[in-house]
């Protein structure tokens, strides 16, 4: 299972069933292994993945997922719309559809993109099986083994196995509160240029980034689009969360700034309607779109016509903005709940982002805490998060974590953050005992002070010289200049 | 033909490995014609055993609860014979500190070490003793949680400055940690299997990390990052000494049925030394014990059958 967007599996029943039908012997394994493509070597199992697999236990409060809350969708609505699809379009809904997607669905997509200020024609669109397929098709279309992809650091953990499968060489650019450091990107492009290497595309989630929760500032958006045009580079703008804004004014997507010249746009119905539909889309320059289309023919011919009919019906009979509005309300409250809980339970040494939208908060702990190990400890308290390493391809992110606030109710969020805070505080205290430094005063008197704290000790070097306000906002490293 | 309950899964961090071990065991048992009952170990374990009346339980659990004697105590209590070691041997193997004390008391070689509980640091000022330990062990040292079967939480500390973070990481897995002198050399694993003539050591397996990175503990047992050679390319005398040491450790720890002893062949002294023992080593397609058994001409099915017979032959503790 991917550690990211996939919900828990069928549980122990499913596992025992799988247990029953294994016929592999050591010799078999060698025989199959000889047949595997070279690219599968990049798809390895790891201790972290084994750890993530046990986060699916029902007693675990999982802040590790990336799941939208689908319980808000009224069941009677789903039933009514499904009946209409069955009554009005039965034969068509059960049939194959065009690879590029149904025209009526494309009109829905045009509406959704217009909501964020993008002007797109139906001919510029390719309907896909979730946004994830766009990442796969773009790699399939552009990446030969060893080709460079530039991504953010941290990047969307779900893109990591895709990049790996196409044997891309991924270069990650640092971020700060204002998103990708475009100045560092430019330096990196210069360096690659000197090495005679041209990146095939720049992958970015500019708005409410997964996992960092930060948003690319307007000036950086303009600069990125300009860079792409000057250097004739493609940008893959992954924008699943743009409409899930909880405060502030919307920013123009890169696609709107560039007019579809160098930006390939990835959109999805997963976060504004339902991830179970598995419907997303790409908007891309025509020659690229044609190749993506060919790639999709080979992958799955067309995305579910049944799902497409459902979306068409939904857009025709309901105002899709209503559901979006209620989701925004719900997630805004949950974000605030999580931010309050973080302020209450996380130690002063921790920092985290304050996202204006989306589904994720990225927390950074003192560098002596390894969040993969911490996850093992947290699982004993029945709580889970995504260790930061999952968002890097180079081992960075060891002391960071991604927290999701959309998939768990308020009580679960408070309890989950409290439990994580408890184990972090435990490790902070232990470390200061070991190094004979005092941990920063806890934000709340809640954490009982251990005896060792009473003895006067020099100020910890790990303590950032920042007040509580800074600690609440400072996410990643701040901009240099 | 017996009615065999295969115990798998559970709550330990090694749940996934356990499921893979159990899948293979079940398959072998079915082929041997046994009646197999799969039990994913949870709060209903005692009820499931009562309902299904197995003749014997095959314990394919790794890590906490399954390998530390907890499940074995329950099986003793409900009177179901089970495979591999009993509660006390399991406890001694699962807790590396107990393992090393038992070996040292018996005069068997194991790298120098010091162990601490979390309380020792929190309430007894053990941090004050760290410099002395660091002096006595020399660097590098390896920091390990006392009870964690996989490579999780094991850190290599090249300098004193790396020790505190390594200790914090190790305490993520257990309330007790050990600092052990790092022994440079070749990594060997010797599996021991009981038989009619008593326990015998199987051919030695050597783990060779690709790219020579001996400090990446996670890579140690991962396919593609480590090569396993069985039998290891050792001269007869060295192989014999490694096997004798493993057998000695098996006896001192009181193991039964089968176990795997991990050794280092010290590159300085040329002598083997015991790092740890596993009361229920992995039984997956890529695990070391099945490879060693195969090298000794014992198929996986024959291994499973023998282990089952031993379980049924054992008189209740």
CATH number at residue B26: 3.40.50.20
For A451, the closest chain B residue by CA position comes to B123
**Cβ separation A427–B168 shorter than 8 A:** yes
For residue A48, pLDDT beyond 80: no
**Cβ separation A25–B13 shorter than 8 A:** no
**Cβ separation B164–A57 shorter than 8 A:** no
Token couple for A449 = 């002070």
Q: CA of A346 to nearest chain B CA: how many angstroms apart?
A: 17
A-B contacts at Cβ under 8 angstroms: 123
**Cβ separation B122–A433 shorter than 8 A:** yes
User: Which positions in chain A touch B294 (Cβ < 8 Å)?
Assistant: 26
Of the residues B181, B211, B226, the one at which a domain ends:
B181
**Cβ separation A26–B130 shorter than 8 A:** no
Kindly indicate the confidence band of residue A70, based on its pLDDT and cuts at 50, 70 and 90: confident
Cβ atoms < 10 Å from Cβ of A18? 14
For residue B121, pLDDT beyond 90: no
Task: Mark whether B191 and B307 lie in a shared domain.
Answer: yes
Please tell me which of the candidates B8, B153, B290 has its beta carbon nearest to residue A19.
Answer: B8
Q: Mean pLDDT for chain A?
A: 85
Token couple for A142 = 């552009």
CATH number assigned to the domain comprising residue B174: 3.30.1490.20
Task: Mark whether B49 and B10 lie in a shared domain.
Answer: yes
Q: Mean pLDDT for chain B?
A: 91
User: Which positions in chain A touch B123 (Cβ < 8 Å)?
Assistant: 451
- Is residue A459 within 8 A of residue A437, CB to CB? The reply is yes
Task: Mark whether B191 and B302 lie in a shared domain.
Answer: yes
pLDDT of B78: 95
pLDDT of A35: 80
pLDDT of A51: 73
User: Which positions in chain A touch B286 (Cβ < 8 Å)?
Assistant: 26, 29
Beta bridge partners of B6: B38, B58
Q: Which of A27-31, A157-161, A226-230, B12-16 has the highest mean pLDDT?
A: A226-230
pLDDT of B225: 67
CA distance A278 to A276: 5
For B60, the closest chain A residue by CA position comes to A19
Task: Mark whether B31 and B103 lie in a shared domain.
Answer: no
**Cβ separation B151–A47 shorter than 8 A:** yes
pLDDT of A438: 61
Residues of A with CB under 8 A from a CB of B: 12, 15-16, 18-20, 22-26, 28-29, 33, 41, 44-47, 50-51, 53-54, 57, 368-370, 373-374, 376-377, 379, 427, 429-431, 433-436, 450-452
pLDDT higher for B227 or A363? A363
Residues ≥6 apart with Cβ < 8 Å to A427: A369, A374, A377, B168, B171, B172
Q: Among A456, A473, A451, A455, which Cα is nearest to A464's? A: A473
Task: Mark whether B131 and B219 lie in a shared domain.
Answer: no
**Mean pLDDT computed over B257-267:** 97
Task: Mark whether B232 and B293 lie in a shared domain.
Answer: yes
Task: Mark whether B98 and B119 lie in a shared domain.
Answer: no
pTM of the model as a whole: 0.86
Beta bridge partners of A396: none
pLDDT of A22: 42
Q: Is A447 helix (H, G, I), strand (E, B) or coil?
A: coil
CA distance A146 to A291: 20
Quickly list H helices, A94-159.
103-115, 130-142
Task: Mark whether B101 and B243 lie in a shared domain.
Answer: yes
Residues of B known to be catalytic: 14, 150, 221, 260, 262, 276, 278, 282
Please tell me which of the candidates B23, B172, B223 has its beta carbon nearest to residue A19.
Answer: B23
Q: CA of A378 to nearest chain B CA: how many angstroms apart?
A: 8
User: Which positions in chain B touch A18 (Cβ < 8 Å)?
Assistant: 19, 23
How do residues A371-412 score in pLDDT, each as one tens digit? 999 999 999 999 999 999 999 988 899 999 999 999 999 999
**Domains of chain A (ranges, CATH numbers):** 36-70+325-444+467-473 (3.90.1150.10), 75-317 (3.40.640.10)
Q: CA of A437 to nearest chain B CA: how many angstroms apart?
A: 11
Task: Mark whether B235 and B309 lie in a shared domain.
Answer: yes
For A13, the closest chain B residue by CA position comes to B40
Beta bridge partners of A263: A235
**Mean pLDDT computed over A356-367:** 97
User: Which positions in chain B touch A462 (Cβ < 8 Å)?
Assistant: none
**Cβ separation A452–B11 shorter than 8 A:** no
Lowest-confidence range among A123-132, B17-26, B120-129?
B120-129
Kindly indicate the confidence band of residue A245, based on its pLDDT and cuts at 50, 70 and 90: very high
Please tell me which of the candidates B127, B169, B285 has its beta carbon nearest to residue A436.
Answer: B127
- Is residue A173 within 8 A of residue A180, CB to CB? The reply is yes
Residue B49 is part of which domain span? Answer: 3-83
* Tokens 């002198």 found at: B181
Task: Mark whether B226 and B295 lie in a shared domain.
Answer: yes
Task: Mark whether B243 and B99 lie in a shared domain.
Answer: yes
- Number of domains making up chain B: 3
Q: DSSP character for A357? A: B
pLDDT of B126: 83
pLDDT higher for A136 or A9? A136
User: Which positions in chain B touch A369 (Cβ < 8 Å)?
Assistant: 165, 168
Phi, psi (5° rounding) for residue B76?
A: -60, -45
**Cβ separation A429–B122 shorter than 8 A:** yes
pLDDT of B1: 86
Kindly indicate the confidence band of residue A472, based on its pLDDT and cuts at 50, 70 and 90: very low
Q: Which of A6-20, A66-80, A323-337 has the highest mean pLDDT?
A: A323-337
Q: Is the peptide bond before B67 cis (omega within 30 degrees of 0)?
A: no
User: Which positions in chain B touch A47 (Cβ < 8 Å)?
Assistant: 150-152, 218
**Cβ separation A18–B40 shorter than 8 A:** no
**Cβ separation A368–B165 shorter than 8 A:** yes
**Mean pLDDT computed over B83-93:** 97
Kindly indicate the confidence band of residue A42, based on its pLDDT and cuts at 50, 70 and 90: low
Lowest-confidence range among A34-48, A292-306, B8-22, B94-108?
A34-48
**Mean pLDDT computed over A59-75:** 88
Task: Mark whether B169 and B244 lie in a shared domain.
Answer: no
**Cβ separation A54–B13 shorter than 8 A:** yes
Kindly indicate the confidence band of residue A56, based on its pLDDT and cuts at 50, 70 and 90: confident
Of the residues B148, B181, B214, the one at which a domain ends:
B181
User: Which positions in chain A touch B130 (Cβ < 8 Å)?
Assistant: 434
Residues ≥6 apart with Cβ < 8 Å to B107: none
């Amino acid at each position: 299972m991917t550690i990211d967007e996939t919900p828990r599996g069928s549980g122990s029943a499913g596992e025992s069933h799988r247990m029953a039908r294994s016929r592999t012997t050591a010799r078999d394994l060698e025989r199959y292994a000889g047949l595997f493509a070279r690219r599968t070597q990049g798809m390895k199992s790891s201790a972290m993945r084994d750890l993530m697999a046990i986060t699916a236990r029902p007693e675990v409060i999982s802040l590790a997922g990336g799941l939208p809350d689908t319980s808000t969708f009224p069941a009677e609505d789903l039933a009514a719309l499904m009946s209409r699809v069955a009554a009005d379009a039965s034969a068509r809904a059960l049939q194959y559809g065009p690879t590029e997607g149904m025209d009526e669905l494309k009109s829905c997509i045009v509406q959704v993109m217009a909501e964020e200020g993008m002007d797109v024609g139906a001919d510029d669109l390719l309907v896909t099986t979730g946004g994830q397929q766009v990442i796969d098709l773009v790699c399939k279309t552009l990446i030969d083994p060893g080709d460079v992809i530039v991504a953010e650091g941290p990047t969307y953990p779900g893109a990591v196995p895709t990049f790996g499968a196409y044997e891309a060489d991924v270069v990650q650019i640092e971020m700060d509160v204002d998103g990708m450091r475009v100045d560092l990107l430019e330096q990196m492009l210069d360096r690659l240029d000197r090495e005679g290497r041209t990146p095939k595309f720049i992958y970015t989630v500019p708005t409410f980034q997964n996992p960092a929760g930060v948003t690319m500032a307007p000036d950086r958006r303009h600069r990125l689009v300009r860079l792409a045009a000057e250097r004739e580079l493609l940008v893959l703008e992954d924008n699943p969360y743009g409409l899930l804004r909880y405060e502030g004014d919307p920013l123009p997507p890169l696609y709107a700034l560039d007019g579809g010249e160098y930006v390939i746009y990835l959109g999805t119905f997963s976060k504004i309607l339902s991830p179970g539909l598995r419907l997303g889309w790409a908007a891309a320059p025509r020659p690229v779109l044609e190749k993506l289309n060919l790639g999709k023919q080979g992958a799955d011919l067309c995305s579910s016509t049944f799902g497409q009919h459902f979306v068409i019906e939904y857009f025709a009979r309901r105002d899709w903005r209503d559901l979006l509005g209620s989701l925004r309300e719900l997630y805004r409250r949950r974000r605030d709940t999580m931010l309050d809980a973080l302020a209450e339970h996380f130690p002063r040494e921790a920092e985290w982002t304050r996202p204006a939208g989306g589904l994720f908060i990225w927390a950074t702990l003192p560098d002596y805490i390894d969040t993969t190990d911490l996850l093992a400890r947290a699982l004993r308290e029945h709580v889970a998060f995504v260790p930061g390493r999952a968002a890097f391809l180079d081992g960075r992110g060891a002391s960071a974590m991604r927290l999701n606030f959309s998939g768990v109710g308020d009580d679960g969020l408070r309890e989950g953050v409290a439990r994580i805070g408890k184990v972090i505080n435990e490790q902070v205290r232990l470390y200061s005992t070991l190094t004979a430094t005092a941990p920063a005063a806890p934000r709340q008197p809640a954490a009982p002070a251990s005896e060792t704290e009473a003895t006067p000790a020099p100020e910890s070097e790990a303590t950032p010289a920042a007040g509580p306000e800074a600690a609440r906002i400072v996410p990643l490293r701040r901009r240099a200049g | 033909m017996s009615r065999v309950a295969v115990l798998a899964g559970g709550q330990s961090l090694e749940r996934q490995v356990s499921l893979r071990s159990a899948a293979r065991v079940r398959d072998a048992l079915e082929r041997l014609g046994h009646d197999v009952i799969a039990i994913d170990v949870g709060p209903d374990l005692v009820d499931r055993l009562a309902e299904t009346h197995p003749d014997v339980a095959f314990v394919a659990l790794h890590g906490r609860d399954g390998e530390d004697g907890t499940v074995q105590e329950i099986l003793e209590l409900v009177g179901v014979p089970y495979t591999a070691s009993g509660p006390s041997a399991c406890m001694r193997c699962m807790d590396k500190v107990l393992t090393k004390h038992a070996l040292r008391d018996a005069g068997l070689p194991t790298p120098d070490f010091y162990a601490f509980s979390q309380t020792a640091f929190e309430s007894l000022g053990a941090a004050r003793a760290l410099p002395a330990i660091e002096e006595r062990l020399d660097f590098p040292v390896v920091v390990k949680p006392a009870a964690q079967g996989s490579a999780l939480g094991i850190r290599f500390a090249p300098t004193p400055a790396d020790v505190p973070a390594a200790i914090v990481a190790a305490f993520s897995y257990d309330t007790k940690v050990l600092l052990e002198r790092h022994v440079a050399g070749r990594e060997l694993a010797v599996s021991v299997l009981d038989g009619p003539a008593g326990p015998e050591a199987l051919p030695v397996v050597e783990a060779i990390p690709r790219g020579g990175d001996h400090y990446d503990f996670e890579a140690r047992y991962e396919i593609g990052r480590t090569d396993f050679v069985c039998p290891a390319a050792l001269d007869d005398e060295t192989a014999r000494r490694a096997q004798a040491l493993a057998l000695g450790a098996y006896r001192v720890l009181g193991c039964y049925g089968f176990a795997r002893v991990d050794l280092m062949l010290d590159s300085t002294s040329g002598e083997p030394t015991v790092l740890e023992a596993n009361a229920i080593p992995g039984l997956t397609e890529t695990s070391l014990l099945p490879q060693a058994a195969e090298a000794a001409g014992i198929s996986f099915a024959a291994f499973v059958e023998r282990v089952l017979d031993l379980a049924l032959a054992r008189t209740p503790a």
